[in-house]
Structure 1
Amino acid sequence: MNDDEQRLGSAADRARWRRYLADERAEAAVYRELAARREGEEREILLALAAAEGRHEAHWLSLLGDDDDGLPRADLRTRMLGALARRFGSIFVLALAQRAEARSPYASDPDATAAMAADERIHGEVVRGLAARGRRRLAGTFRAAVFGANDGLVSNLALVLGIGATGVPAPVVLFTGIAGLLAGALSMGAGEYVSVRSQRELLEASAPDPTTGEALVDLDIDANELALVYRARGMSEEESREHAALVVARVQAAGRQLETDALAVAAHDDDGVGTGLSAAVSSFAFFASGALVPVLPWIFGLSGTTAVVTATVLVGIALLATGAIVGLLSGASPLKRALRQLGIGLGAAAVTYLLGLAFGTTLG
């Protein structure tokens, strides 16, 4: 091998460098696509990540002697990320990008610099932080949707399989499944309504009494007990005294109660609680959507073993989907989460099916 060949690397080295170059360009494009769908600080962070991938790209291009002809396609995972980023730009893409950054080969590649390997590890944490913002924004709705639908899938599958295994006619299984759907959905809706209303009532009980503000104008500015209110609401002793003196001074200078409730230092924030009715409707809908799936075979006229197998397969697919979504959003392996969800759901259904068989044998 002559000096030029040694400097430019072997054929295997150059093939690897070309693959890295293609991947870096694709990853930078993903971050730019995501940035185009955001604004403010998140946009700046994503563009900075794209610029960092550009520095890595320049490293591999330099090793190739600026020869980027005949580059291979980026790996399938990165291409999928790009397609998702162009169409959705959602938390799912960030969660996938987080996993992609964690699998960087640079730490063990002799041609990658230590700085590049460190960059990739830091990029993973940056993307994790951005993904965490999205997770917090959809945490409540997502939790209600996944757990509501999952409860409907598992509980109604267990119900119809257990009843079906006893050997009763198909119409009985169908109406049992519909009854289970309605009973479970109504129970979920009612429970969510009571939960949310109770939470709002607890928050309202902690809100200051608006009529108490009328006493502020007559308080002694040098020895007023408003400071005790602020201490009870979480302020330190010194902060409460200073804040109380300022509030009383403002009130007395105005000669009337201020429009802003001066007592509400640690005012509660119930914007994220929602209304009881909307929460109840959402819970009803999520549970019912899951509980409908295992009943579909009987709705379309199937019966016996065919209906049981079809219901199990449909619910299994739905459980795999919800498990994979949980895995994506949590940054964990979608496959592992999907299989876990499938195992738990079908395991519960299998128990009731076996009990149904036992009861059917006994009754027969």
Structure 2
Amino acid sequence: MGLADSRSWWQRLRPYVLAFDAPLTLIIGALLSVGLITLYSAGIAIPGKVWDQLRNIAAAVLVMWLVANIPPQTMMRLAVPAYALGVALLVAVALFGVIKGGSRRWLYIGTQIQPSELMKIAMPLMLAWFFQREQGHLRWQSYVIAAVLLAVPAWLIGRQPDLGTAMLVTMAGASVIFLGGLSWKALGALFAVGAAGLPVLWTFMHDYQRDRVLTLIDPYHDPLGKGFHIIQSMIAIGSGGVSGKGWTNGTQAHLEFIPERTTDFIFAVFSEEFGLLGNLVLLVLYLLLIWRGMAIAMNAPTLFTRLLAGAVTMIYFTYAFVNMGMVSGIIPVVGVPLPFMSYGGTALMTLGLGGGILMSVQRHR
């Protein structure tokens, strides 16, 4: 009888059951716990929010575990089909999508889906596959092709309009292009071209997008209208002081001054109740998340896995930076949740998928 045949069922299943990376699991678990505590307070007048989020977490953890057991070689084979499917669904949204609140972002195929969420992962997968394929003979034409691969879905998402998701997809793809070997000089030139093109971009922006930029510059020009929500959010953050008002004692949230307090603006609720000290703890957790992701990327054995892990880590960074920045009033308001804390199933599934990719890269070194 061979060695494999003599092993117990637990010995055979153990590598698959224990697929999670311990440091990454602890960090994500801590963020999810903080999120549930904050969500309970933010949604105290909305029955069922915490239980719904627990179901979302269970689904995200299951996705994370499944993906952690998929070898990176299999992910590389899925890169092109996933990208092609994502672009095809985005085109279908543009043609036949469901309109909600003035935006055409959803597609009904028996159930309602938002294809732009798929591109948050499919885009870095595709570009990581492309640079792995081009490894050893990269030329300037390679970066042009990569930029086109990135621009097509970013443009389709931006015209829905969904500026927040378009920005996340662009950041995920741009991080792969940069980590793939783009020089600092070329990056600086691209930033200069982008800055010079801002006046042109302004002419193509929707009215509500221009209003958000103007509100960022001076939220008090319309304090009871367009600037009301961001002003109340900044009041909540400032009123928390050093130690906060205490759990469930936040007045801005419970008196319903904070908009979307269980989703995009949950950071304002957390800041009011836990203050500066709580924010420092939260920042440390996010820094640990970024550190662990970059450590996995640096130790990855192939260019594909390094680029993919680096891109997922940059997605986490962008989520956290943009959300905290918009809630604090330092960047325009866009629809980006706070990772592993905001209420919602779709974003949490995407984040769980990203965590599974990092664990797969670490596990299959």
Higher Rg of the two aligned structures: 1
Q: Normalising to structure 2: TM-score of the pair?
A: 0.27
Answer 1 or 2: which has greater helix percent: 1
Q: Normalising to structure 1: TM-score of the pair?
A: 0.27
Whose relative contact order is higher, 1 or 2, with alpha carbons under 8 Å and at least 6 apart? 2
